């Protein structure tokens, strides 16, 4: 599959690049970021971390605001961050709301018209994109982890729980933990999947997926700012996920950050901690 390099900037000894390609899964041109650390010059395969962004974001937010490249360069890890939805399709209603449609794919495979043909972000990030990365970059196949923020935190969690063994580790900043019962999730699931009875919402809800997880040991690292307005308004519900993990004996860590909100100021403050966590799993050594 042909890739088009849209931009390239040297940073921390490596290169932050943006690529575009024609996606078969979502039926439009998609963009994604790839940070190639300086270790790529050693001509060896490197582990990969996938980052999934939140509502209203594109591939640019993480690239420009997180500061993740510093830590990826330190540990010798490629970071890949896709866009959050198909774009440019002009599906009726796809741009009427900031929390549904463009910029808000919710990392599910839609089953309801008119979304089911193109809004297949789950298959894009767990199947098409990894194949693209493995075929075009010095990625060590089988050595990948996943993380994300908000809607992207939800995406990271379900990607790991629905694909046992695919990712060495998973972490999430302020994730939407129980979308079946929060306003954002109810809106998106109703739109993309239809009624709860007809569409098995639990198949796309980390709090529910944990209850039937049956795979290699997988620890969920959840990070939450305590001054997050979306936490206070009941959109995130981390306590529901932790309760589910406890009852299902799935290991989980909830880190509570006093004074931090939902922004990239918060993410930038702790992204190094998360990348170190993933590096220890990917490199199989204490750092």
Alpha-carbon span 224 to 62, nearest angstrom? 18
Render pLDDT for 10-67 as a digit per residue (tens, 0 to 9).
999 999 999 999 999 999 999 999 999 999 988 889 999 999 999 999 999 999 999 9
Render pLDDT for 138-150 as a digit per residue (tens, 0 to 9).
999 899 999 999 9
Catalytic residue, chosen from 83, 94, 223, 228, is 228
Tell me, what's the pLDDT at 215? 95
Tell me, what's the pLDDT at 57? 98
Catalytic residue, chosen from 145, 159, 199, 262, is 262
Alpha-carbon span 170 to 159, nearest angstrom? 9
Render pLDDT for 62-93 as a digit per residue (tens, 0 to 9).
999 999 999 999 999 999 999 999 999 999 99
Please compute the mean of the pLDDT values over residues 113-118 and round it to a whole number: 97
Alpha-carbon span 256 to 226, nearest angstrom? 6
Confidence of residue 120 (pLDDT cuts 50, 70, 90): very high
Tell me, what's the pLDDT at 24? 97
Alpha-carbon span 73 to 117, nearest angstrom? 38
Tell me, what's the pLDDT at 5? 98
> Catalytic site residue 123?
no
Tell me, what's the pLDDT at 198? 60
> Catalytic site residue 150?
yes
Count CB-CB contacts under 10 A for residue 141.
12
Task: Tell me the sheet residues that pair with 150.
Answer: none
Count CB-CB contacts under 10 A for residue 203.
14
Tell me, what's the pLDDT at 175? 98
Catalytic residue, chosen from 53, 58, 150, 199, is 150
Which 3 state secondary structure label does DSSP give 47?
Answer: strand
Q: Residue 206 in contact with residue 153, Cβ under 8 Å?
A: no
Tell me, what's the pLDDT at 190? 95
pLDDT exceeds 80 at position 132: yes
Please compute the mean of the pLDDT values over residues 207-232 and round it to a whole number: 97
> Catalytic site residue 22?
no
Q: And the tokens for 219?
A: 């620890």
Q: And the tokens for 17?
A: 């690049």
- Average pLDDT of the chain is 96
Please compute the mean of the pLDDT values over residues 116-131 and round it to a whole number: 98
């Amino acid at each position: 599959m042909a890739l088009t390099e849209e931009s390239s900037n040297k940073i921390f000894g490596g290169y932050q690049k943006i690529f575009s390609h024609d996606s078969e899964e979502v039926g439009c041109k998609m963009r994604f970021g790839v940070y190639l650390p300086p270790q790529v010059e050693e001509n060896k395969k490197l582990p990969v971390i996938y980052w999934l962004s939140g509502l209203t974001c594109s591939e640019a937010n993480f690239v420009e605001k997180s500061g993740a490249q510093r830590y990826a360069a330190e540990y010798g890890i490629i970071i890949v961050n896709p866009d959050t939805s198909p774009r440019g399709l002009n599906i009726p209603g796809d741009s009427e709301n900031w929390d549904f449609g463009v910029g808000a794919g919710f990392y599910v495979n839609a089953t309801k018209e008119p979304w089911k043909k193109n809004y297949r972000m789950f298959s894009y990030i767990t199947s098409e994109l990894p194949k693209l990365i493995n075929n075009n970059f010095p990625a060590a196949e089988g050595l990948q982890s996943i993380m994300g923020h908000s809607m992207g935190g939800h995406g990271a969690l379900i990607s790991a729980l629905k694909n046992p063994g695919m990712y060495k580790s998973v972490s999430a900043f302020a994730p939407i933990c129980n979308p079946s019962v929060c306003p954002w999730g109810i809106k998106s699931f109703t739109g993309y999947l239809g009624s709860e009875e007809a569409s098995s919402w639990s198949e796309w809800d980390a709090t529910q997926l944990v209850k039937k997880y049956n795979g290699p040991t997988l620890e969920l690292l959840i990070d939450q700012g305590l001054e997050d307005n979306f936490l206070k308004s009941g959109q995130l519900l981390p306590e529901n996920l932790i309760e589910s993990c406890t009852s299902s004996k799935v290991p989980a860590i909830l880190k509570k950050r006093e004074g931090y909100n939902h922004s990239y100021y918060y993410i930038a403050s702790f992204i190094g901690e998360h990348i170190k966590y993933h590096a220890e799993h990917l490199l199989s050594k204490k750092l």
